[in-house]
Amino acid sequence: MSGLEEFENYQTKFEKASILRRIGAFLIDFFIYYLTGVILGFFFDTQDDGVFSYNLEGFPALVSLGIFFFLWPISEGIWGQTLGKRFLDIKVVTKTYEPIDIGKAFIRFFVGFVDCILVVGIIVAAANKENQRIGDLAAGTFVVKSKYND
């Protein structure tokens, strides 16, 4: 097998993750973050706003912020997956199908706020043949099914 054939076979074994799977992973991650906030709020909330509502200040708010960054850009930068992506068997890779680094993960994360405005990210991903949202385009990344990443 020539080098070119080997490269083509390598690329074809990566299947892009569907938009619905990506949305599902985000919802799982968001639920995990929300649940950790509720638990922190249970112990540190100074206001009685109800069981599933919380207000964190000072150190507990800093812990919540740390969890927020760990759940999204840091875990993607280290493992290429958040907990939601891991659960749904998808992974973030570069355009050359290599693992992403922490820098690309933070680019995806911060540009992701633009993606969330009026669900622009879903519209862009649906219109894009590679299912890339704006954060992926900015960072040069794709989300693929991880079962192919042997």
- Indicate whether 10 pLDDT > 80: no
C-alpha to C-alpha distance for 10 and 98, rounded to whole angstroms? 11
**High-pLDDT (> 70) share of the chain, %:** 84
Under DSSP, the state recorded for 129 is T
Question: What does the block give as tokens for 65?
Answer: 């912020």
Q: Is 6 exposed, middle or buried (0-12, 13-18, 19+ CB in 10 A)?
A: exposed
Which one is predicted more confidently, 36 or 7? 36
Is 50 exceeded by the pLDDT of residue 47?
Answer: yes
SS3 breakdown of the chain: % helix, strand, coil, rounded to 5? Answer: 65, 10, 25
Radius of gyration of the chain from its Cα atoms, rounded to whole angstroms: 18
pLDDT tens per residue, range 96-147? 999 999 999 999 999 988 888 878 988 999 898 889 999 999 999 999 998 7
| Averaged pLDDT for residues 71-77 | 96
Q: What percent of the chain has pLDDT over 90?
A: 57
pTM of the model: 0.82
Q: What's the whole-number mean pLDDT along residues 43-53?
A: 68
Q: CB-based contacts of 22: which residues, under 8 Å, 6+ apart?
A: 90, 125, 131, 133, 143
